[in-house]
A and B are shown apart, each in its own frame.
Chain A
Amino acid sequence: MTHVTEEQLVLYFYGEAEETAAIAEHLSSCPACRADLAAIQRTLNAVDGMPIPDRGPAYGAQVWQALSPKIKPRARFFPVWLQPRQLAACAAMATLLVIAYLAGRGTLPGPGKVEVAQQSVAARDRVLLVNVSDHLERSKLMLIELTNGAPGTLYQDQARAEDLLAANRLYRLSAKRNSQPALTDLLDELEQTLTEVANAQPGELRQIQSRMARQDLLFKIRVVDARMRQTQRQPIDISSN
């Protein structure tokens, strides 16, 4: 190997070189390149000495104090009078009825059968996406309130968890039938949490909150929901079905 270039040495120093093994081998037998690498290290060690003004441990709180008056509260997704209670199970049932109808259209005999079937599959998936997305949104809001709730407010979340649980089961089965493993897994995990919440005693709230924090369930919901909403925005392409 010819001498290592300066660029290779710099990238090697940072562990980003493409031919790491070859460079290491060359360095072991080339004093000139080793000296060059040592010079780079000396420069970068000196750069490490660049002082940063100390802001102290309370800096974050100070920034928040200055920032908070400039931040307008974000609007909540649902007004108080339109809580997800009662709506969840009805929405799930309605979705499944629509899906069943579209699936039935897809099996109609006749010359237009293939095209109708393709459109039906795409439309069925879209209906499921929209409704599951709404379901995830409602679940997320309930879980957020649960995360911040005190033991005395658990009973409110339990009523909502029961409603969401019924819908969740239907959506999970639907997702499984439609071969959507990521969504099925998420709904499965959500179902476990909803079941725990629905059956919890007030003294168990902290335990549930800790487990939710560990599992990062809210974050997983958000990621899947964001992807689903992105898919919803794409036009239906029947040629891909």
Chain B
Amino acid sequence: MSESDGIAIERTIAGDGEGFRVLVERYSQLVFRLAYRMTGSEADAEDVVQETFLRAYRAISTYDGRAGFTTWIYRIATNYTLDLLDKRRRRAEQPPPQRIDQEQQEWEFPTAAPGPDRLAEGSQLHRRLHLAMAQLTPQERSAFVLRHFEELPIEEISEALSLGPSATRHSIFRAVQKLRRSLAPFVSSEL
């Protein structure tokens, strides 16, 4: 019998760890995908998955069912990822990313840039995509990932990011605009 999220949540709150196991096993891939797209790093995405579920477990008694469990877990994952990226950016204390059409600075992105393992392999398009995503601000990247890949409606993205609907729409637009600029020459020649 496939247990519903509702029952798994109730079991967790009642002290039954097996209830939480159901949620972890059901949503781990989803959180990993989201985190990887936001950070561009497998190690960071793994960290986000672990921390997201730890936070979810501690806060599960506050889950009131107004938003779907997916939205709730996305919100926790997104908030943690944004904190992670913010801390890393401050620690790096580097200037904002430069335009990628300046060839000499092409691989120098201080925040959420793919690790050396990802840069060493994969097609040029994939490398470009990672770099283009790294050009987005964390808020733009989160809004874009939630809309484009996870296909959440604006209302749920607003809820997950604690943003107004207009700001959410604008973040998605800015993300697409930046991606277009970054990828335009490459996309037109590739496709």
Contacts and interface: CB of A to CB of B under 8 A. Distances in A.
B173 A50 contact: no
Contacts, number: 156
A68 interface: yes
Contacts of B65: 219, 222-223, 226
Interface string A21-59: 000000000000000000110111111011111010001
Given A64-B24, A68-B21, A213-B1, A43 B13 contact: no
A42 B42 contact: no
B3 interface: yes
Given A43-B176, A222-B9, A51 B126 contact: yes
Interface residues of B, number: 63
Interface of B: 1-7, 9-18, 20-21, 24-29, 32-33, 36-37, 42, 49-50, 53-54, 57, 64-65, 122, 125-126, 129-130, 132-133, 147-148, 153-154, 169-170, 172-173, 176-177, 179-180, 183-184, 186-188, 190-191
Contacts of A46: 125, 129, 183, 186-187, 190-191
Give 10 nearest A-B pairs by CB, closest first: A219-B6, A60-B25, A60-B28, A63-B28, A74-B15, A223-B65, A76-B15, A218-B10, A7-B173, A64-B24
A224 to B, nearest CB: 10
A14 B176 CA distance: 11
A14 B172 contact: yes
Interface of A: 6-7, 10-11, 14, 16, 39-40, 42-47, 49-53, 55, 59-61, 63-64, 66-68, 70-71, 73-77, 140-141, 144, 147-148, 209-210, 212-213, 216, 218-220, 222-223, 226-227
B50 A52 contact: no
